Amino acid sequence: MTDAASKTMIASVMNEIGHNARRAFAALALAPSHAKNAALQAAARQLRLRRSRILDANRIDMDAARAKALSGAMLDRLLLDGSRIEAMAEGLEAIVALPDPIGKVLADWQRPNGLSIQRVAVPLGVIGIIYESRPNVTADASGLCIKSGNAVILRGGSESFHSSQAIYACMREGLQEAGLPLDAVQMVPMRDREAVGFLLSSMAGMIDVVVPRGGKSLIRRVQEDARVPVIGHLEGVCHVYVHGEADLDMATSIVLNAKMRRTGICGAAETILVDKDIAGAALPLIIDALTRAGCEIRGDDAVVAADPAVVPASEDDWSREYLDAIVSMRVVDDLPAALAHIGKFGSGHTDCIVTNNDAAALEFLGRVDSAIVLHNASTQFADGGEFGMGAEIGIATGRIHARGPVGAEQLTSYKYVVRGAGQTRP
């Protein structure tokens, strides 16, 4: 095909998807909870029933990915097995168990002129989800969208094309069994990058919001090209600040967990700040625990001096999201110095203070301007499931609409319902 013909084809396919989505949204927005839950339950059942078909599809993707010599981390994200398929099905069942966020009366008041005003939760509309080659996002994201009454247009990474298609078929089957419009969940059928460009730049009247889920380069591209609102997170440069009045055992176990439980998630700690007053006692414990766990430590002069295993940090290290078994570590004078460091280098994602001093904790929790601030708990709790939201579509670091874990409740808007008895405005 010529470029022009290909562009015309993409525009025509995408416009049709957009129109279908809007039509499906009109029906799904008013669907009762039991129908939406039935669709999710049926989809979970289909995932289990079609296990071998999904694994076959995944094998095609894995073979192609290996031929392209993708990295081990990427292959691991792409890989499906029986337990990962079961986890997807259980994820959908967890969403069933959540309360329906739609129709909830968020506020309710009466005006002196007798008007009754309610703010009522409604779906966002049509949501575009752009993600990388993690096939499970196909189930998680469309499950959250169905629950919250939103139509969704999925565009997964091209390496996971066959796996995602197989999972997508289960979601559509679920909608079918529940008598809901199939086009509430649609997947972009082309692998072309131009389809993403069209979605971001030319579907402003059809798509209400785009949620990018993936690495920095994907999210930056989406934020640059989008002519529709975006709910996205950029990066998690998360800090653990060990205050002068911290319990050292607690500090060590929180630092170790925050950094090393899983290093590749956005809530993993990337920088440890230790108060000067306790550095002498704290540094050996913390450095020892981290190095035993296989973590490389990049420190300032004081940290380098504390242990020969520590390598010197460069200025860049303070703003690096390693997503790996590497951590930067710095000794700070006091709480204000820690706040200044986090204000300068943090990414507004998740930050923690370890201390037994409640006043210091209160100061930290109030002054650190991040989506999630913790006192005496690991940054790895930055997760919709751990927050009790059942599931999440990502952690938002923007300040608009949703901040922190984005679950079904965050995929809603509201409308005002006003009831009168003939009032006119003076």
Q: Does 202 bind a second copy (CB under 8 A)?
A: no
Among 67, 229, 245, 287, binds a second copy (CB under 8 A): 229
Show the site string, 277-316: x = touches a second copy by CB under 8 A, - = not: ----------------------------------------
Q: How far apart are CA 241 and CA 113, in angstroms?
A: 53
State the pairing for strand pair 151-155/185-187.
parallel
- 68/425 with CB nearer a second copy: 425
- 159/270 with CB nearer a second copy: 270
Q: Does 137 bind a second copy (CB under 8 A)?
A: no
Q: Which residues contact 63 (CB under 8 A, 6 or more apart)?
A: none
Site for a second copy in 340-359 (CB under 8 A): 343
Q: Does 45 bind a second copy (CB under 8 A)?
A: no
Question: Burial of 223 by CB count in 10 Å (0-12 exposed, 13-18 middle, 19+ buried)?
Answer: middle
Among 165, 176, 291, 376, binds a second copy (CB under 8 A): 376
Q: How far apart are CA 202 and CA 318, in angstroms?
A: 38
- Closest approach, Cβ 219 to a second copy, in A, equals 13
State the pairing for strand pair 151-155/126-131.
parallel
Listed ranges 13-21, 81-89, 118-126, 139-147: which one lies at the site for a second copy (CB under 8 A): 118-126
Q: Which residues contact 218 (CB under 8 A, 6 or more apart)?
A: 130, 131, 132, 212
Question: Burial of 387 by CB count in 10 Å (0-12 exposed, 13-18 middle, 19+ buried)?
Answer: middle
Assess contact for 86 and 113: CB atoms under 8 A: no
Q: How far apart are CA 133 and CA 266, in angstroms?
A: 17
- Closest approach, Cβ 63 to a second copy, in A, equals 35
- Closest approach, Cβ 224 to a second copy, in A, equals 7
Q: Does 197 bind a second copy (CB under 8 A)?
A: no
Among 257, 263, 328, 347, binds a second copy (CB under 8 A): 257
Among 125, 135, 214, 299, binds a second copy (CB under 8 A): 125
Among 72, 294, 308, 388, binds a second copy (CB under 8 A): 388
Question: Burial of 416 by CB count in 10 Å (0-12 exposed, 13-18 middle, 19+ buried)?
Answer: exposed
Q: Does 367 bind a second copy (CB under 8 A)?
A: yes
- Closest approach, Cβ 234 to a second copy, in A, equals 10
- Closest approach, Cβ 201 to a second copy, in A, equals 11
Q: Does 274 bind a second copy (CB under 8 A)?
A: no
Assess contact for 37 and 149: CB atoms under 8 A: no
